[in-house]
Amino acid sequence: MGQSTFAAPKQVNTRPRRVVLYSHDTFGLGHLRRSRALASALTQSGAAASAIILTGSPVAGRFTFPEAVDHVRLPGVKKLGDGSYASQASGMDIDATTALRAGLIQSTVAQYDPDLLIVDKEPTGFRGELIPTLEMLNGSGKTKIVLGLRDVLDEPEVLASEWDRKGAVEATEAFYNEIWVYGVKSVYDPTKGLPLSDRARARTYWTGYLRREIVDPADVPEEPYVLITPGGGGDGQAMVDLVLKAYEQDPTLGPDAVLVYGPFLSGDTRDAFEARVAALNGRVTATGFDSRIEALFAGAEGVVSMGGYNTFCEVLSFDKRAVIVPRTRPRLEQWIRANRAEQLGLVRNLDQFRDGLTPQSMIAAIRDLPSLRRPSQSGADGLLDGLDVVINRARQLMSQRVRDAAE
């Protein structure tokens, strides 16, 4: 009998799917918390068997992660007052720290061999640290790469200049299979003003906002309370001061407040706030950092917060009447988000340009909280499909890797 002319079928690697999420985290909690929400959704849905978050956040170890999600802590950096960066490790300059981070990222991705890499916000990474990894993955052609963008980045002109300086448009065009915007295009388009090609825009998906749930149950006050949260807290001093002045100047102001400082509001500033909180005799209670803040959101009568992406998602997800006090430096991101959300009837924007940030304006805003519409009354439920869309897109992309391997 002659030799068969039929080739044996090619073996396709059907190993459990793996995802890496890159989160540069030079400041605050936003990138890490968003990456944790995405990793949790992908693993708990079964779209991925495991996920690793690459993060520079100094507080990553204080969060709980699902069993299938782990994190690699990159050497930390801090932003200085002039906008430059310095290493948090003594004896290393910023160039050496960036090179070390780049090497850790590349070696982790090479060893883990993910089916999908999701990059948060920065197409080239912190100071270009992601470029060697993107070039490595582009050469192999196995790992699908996604750029994930929050709903608002900055003013279009400012963002275009920043991306031009960083070579971000070129990197997006060259390396990324898809762009996911964690928002709704009719609310805001963060890519407006960027010179992206028609091809890149054709592979852009607006997922909707990322719905949040209670991750870790926690005890919350039995009495009604307003939740006061500046997010990570690093730039929340002015808002916390304003809220405390409101309660100090109006002894009848209620309900009582629960203040979560955030992990980056500390030192002498926090000590001074603590003394003022103590003098309010229980009308305001405070805690430094609670990774279980979702439970505090769920139990609150209303919320006073800054306008970060994650906080906004929590306001929508837990359907809370909210007063947003957005920062306006160094970016207008929070103000743009809060202003647009107010136009849609989702929140009240305490706008320093319009209302002025005074104790009297904060007193009035807290008193008016019960009269605000809940986000659901303005259609918020239809904005919160983000995690479902992410799971579906991830499945589609990772199935392409299997098909590519079979060809």
And the tokens for 142? 């196995």
Run means of pLDDT, 10 residues per run, the chain, 407 residues: 46 79 76 91 97 89 86 87 76 92 97 97 96 95 96 96 97 98 96 96 98 81 93 80 97 95 80 95 86 87 95 96 92 95 97 89 96 95 95 95 55
The answer to whether the CB of 81 falls within 8 A of the CB of 61 is no
The pLDDT of residue 136? 97
And the tokens for 193? 């003003």
Rounded Cα distance, 102 and 95, in Å? 10
Rounded Cα distance, 240 and 229, in Å? 8
pLDDT tens per residue, range 177-220: 999 999 999 999 999 999 999 999 999 999 999 999 887 777 78
- The answer to whether the Cα torsion of 376, 379, 382, 383 is positive or negative is negative
The pLDDT of residue 114? 97
Total-model pTM: 0.91
For residue 394, CA distances in Å to 8, 46, 178, 229, 308 come to: 30, 11, 10, 32, 25
Q: Is the peptide bond before 255 cis (omega within 30 degrees of 0)?
A: yes
The pLDDT of residue 329? 83
Rounded Cα distance, 31 and 359, in Å? 31
Backbone torsions φ then ψ of 233, nearest 5 degrees? 95, -10
| List of long-range contacts for 78-85, beta carbons under 8 Å, 24+ apart | 78/26, 78/27, 79/26, 79/27, 83/330, 85/26, 85/126, 85/127
And the tokens for 169? 């448009």
The pLDDT of residue 288? 76
Running DSSP on this structure, what letter comes out for residue 369? Answer: G
Running DSSP on this structure, what letter comes out for residue 256? Answer: E
Q: What is the largest CA-CA distance in the chain?
A: 99
Tell me which residue of 124, 83, 79 sits closest to 105, measured CA to CA: 124
The answer to whether the CB of 380 falls within 8 A of the CB of 36 is no
Running DSSP on this structure, what letter comes out for residue 128? Answer: G
The answer to whether the CB of 349 falls within 8 A of the CB of 324 is yes
Instruction: Look up tokens 């985290």; give the residue.
Output: 25
Q: Where are the beta strands (DSSP E) in 207-340?
A: 225-229, 256-260, 284-287, 302-305, 322-324
Q: Are strands 85-87 and 77-79 parallel, antiparallel or unpaired?
A: antiparallel
How would you class 128 by CB atoms within 10 Å of its CB: exposed for 0-12, middle for 13-18, buried for 19 or more?
middle
CB proximity list for 341: less than 8 A, separation 6 or greater: 187, 312, 324, 347, 349
pLDDT tens per residue, range 102-118: 999 999 999 999 999 99
DSSP 193-226: T----HHHHHTEEE--------SS-----SS-EE
HSE on the CB side for 299, CA within 13 Å? 17
Q: Which amino acid is at 243?
A: V
The answer to whether the CB of 261 falls within 8 A of the CB of 229 is no
